[in-house]
């Protein structure tokens, strides 16, 4: 047995995972080179080796949940190559307006056909609210309504939807609450569908970066946007929100959150899924809004993202026979790994889902939180 295999076997044992074991979370090795690859490249090596078919597991989500719960990454040394990559991320602003547009295109413009089949009927690509819901459609509708109620929307209000995606929330808020919506996204394929979805409603969809928006809005919402802002730009983002938000206005930010403050992301996710994406912590959010906004309410329903991701995965697998005409086997393994890894991360409570309601500092009534 090679030294690399012995090391990986020992690390896995700390999470009660066996090589070629019989349990559904045990790792099945198909290529012995995987051990050196994992030790040399950590998360990147593990993910790429899966894409290449070097290993499998019956339940990748359960495997990843166990590895994260055991904090195995902290026990694998960072190589000089990875250290250089991390240093580059720290020095560069990878979420400038120009780069943000390219980053968004990398993920959101790969094909609406994929998202139409994977997501719910409203194409909501963020954590659903499963409190009283039995299926994905109901859970996503419940999330949209929860956001509207937290914002205390009233007919005739103006609302800015930053990172509006395919227009699902903009459509819902305009239809159900009678608000006038401006939605923005840098991804052209999202904008096309969002415009079709909201045709005939008091909704304007713009292909635009948040830094270039002007005007005043009674309410601001961002759902799944903060993850794309980048740690170097949190202050810029919230300063811009402050200039756009009307006096005594409310805003809500729905975002994946980390348990600790970081300035880099998982290298596999960065390379293949969300280039430039950074998961903020509550500390980073709080620091960015300090002395600018009052934080009125924070809700964490991170475990609901596990269930959401597993629902997306089931839809993706079910639809793949048709999608396979366009997306090859390597893409299938990449996308499956992405969805199941993220589900495992939320299951281990390695990641959270925060909804944060804020208003500008100044005299105001007591904010009544809803759930």
Give me the pLDDT at residue 89, please. 46
Give me the pLDDT at residue 85, please. 47
- Residue given tokens 């500092």 in the structure block: 361
Give me the pLDDT at residue 264, please. 86
Q: pLDDT of the chain along its 371 residues, tens only?
A: 799 999 999 999 999 999 999 999 999 999 999 999 999 999 999 999 999 999 999 999 999 999 999 998 777 766 555 445 444 444 556 556 665 556 556 566 677 999 999 999 999 999 999 999 999 999 999 999 999 999 999 999 999 999 999 999 999 999 999 999 999 999 999 999 999 999 999 999 999 999 999 999 999 999 999 999 999 999 999 999 999 999 999 999 999 999 999 998 899 999 999 998 999 999 999 999 999 999 999 999 999 999 999 999 999 999 999 999 999 999 999 999 999 999 999 999 999 999 999 999 989 999 999 99
Q: What would the two tokens of residue 344 be?
A: 């495992």
Give me the pLDDT at residue 81, please. 55
Give me the pLDDT at residue 243, please. 97
> 169: left (phi > 0), else alpha (psi -120 to 50), else beta?
alpha
CB 153 within 8 A of CB 180: no
Structural domains in the chain, CATH included, are: 3-77 (no CATH), 94-360 (3.40.50.150)
Give me the pLDDT at residue 111, please. 79
Give me the pLDDT at residue 92, please. 55
CA 238 to chain centre: 19
Instruction: Give the Cα separation of 39 and 67 in Å (integer).
Output: 14
CB 322 within 8 A of CB 117: yes
CB 125 within 8 A of CB 118: no
Instruction: Give the Cα separation of 220 and 77 in Å (integer).
Output: 42
Angle at 197 between CA 169 and CA 217, to 5 degrees: 45
CA distances to 84, 227, 231, 257 from 284, rounded to whole Å, are: 24, 12, 8, 10
Nearest to 161 by CA among 112, 196, 128, 198: 198
Give me the pLDDT at residue 216, please. 98
Give me the pLDDT at residue 115, please. 95
Confirm whether 241 is a catalytic residue. Answer: no
Beta-carbon contacts of 138 under 8 Å, excluding residues fewer than 6 positions away, are: none
Q: Which of 148, 241, 341, 342 is catalytic?
A: 342
Give me the pLDDT at residue 93, please. 65
Q: What would the two tokens of residue 86 be?
A: 């991390």
């Amino acid at each position: 047995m090679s030294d690399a295999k012995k090391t990986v076997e020992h690390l896995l044992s700390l999470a009660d995972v066996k090589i070629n074991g019989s349990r559904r979370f045990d790792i099945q090795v198909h290529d012995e080179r995987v051990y050196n690859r994992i030790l040399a490249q950590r998360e990147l090596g593990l993910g790429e080796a899966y894409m290449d078919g070097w290993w499998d597991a019956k339940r990748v989500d359960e495997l990843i949940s166990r590895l994260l719960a055991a904090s195995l990454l902290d026990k694998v040394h960072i190589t000089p190559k990875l250290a250089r990559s991390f240093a580059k991320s720290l020095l560069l602003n990878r979420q400038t307006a120009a780069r943000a547009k390219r980053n968004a295109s990398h993920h959101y413009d790969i094909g609406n056909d994929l998202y139409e089949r994977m997501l719910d009927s409203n194409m909501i690509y963020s954590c659903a609210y499963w409190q009283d819901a039995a299926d994905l459609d109901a859970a996503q509708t419940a999330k949209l309504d929860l956001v509207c109620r937290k914002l205390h929307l009233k007919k005739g209000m103006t609302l800015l939807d930053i990172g509006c995606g395919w227009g699902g929330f903009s459509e819902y808020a305009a239809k159900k609450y009678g608000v006038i919506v401006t939605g923005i996204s840098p991804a052209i394929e999202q904008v096309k569908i969002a415009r079709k979805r909201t045709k005939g409603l008091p909704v304007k969809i713009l292909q635009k970066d948040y830094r270039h928006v002007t005007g005043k809005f009674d309410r601001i919402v961002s759902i799944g946007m903060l993850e794309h802002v980048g740690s170097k730009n949190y202050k810029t983002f919230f300063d811009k929100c402050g200039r756009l938000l009307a006096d005594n206005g409310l805003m809500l930010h729905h975002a994946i959150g980390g348990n600790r403050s970081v300035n880099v992301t998982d290298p596999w996710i960065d390379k293949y899924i969300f280039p430039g994406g950074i998961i903020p912590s509550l500390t980073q959010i709080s620091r960015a809004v300090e002395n600018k906004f009052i934080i009125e309410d924070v809700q964490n329903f991170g475990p609901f993202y596990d269930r959401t991701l597993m629902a997306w995965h089931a839809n993706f697998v079910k639809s793949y026979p048709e999608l396979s005409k366009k997306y090859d086997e390597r893409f299938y393994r990449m996308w499956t790994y992405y969805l199941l890894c993220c589900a495992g991360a939320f299951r281990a409570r390695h990641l959270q889902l925060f909804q944060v309601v804020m208003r500008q500092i100044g005299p105001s009534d007591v904010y009544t939180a809803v759930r």
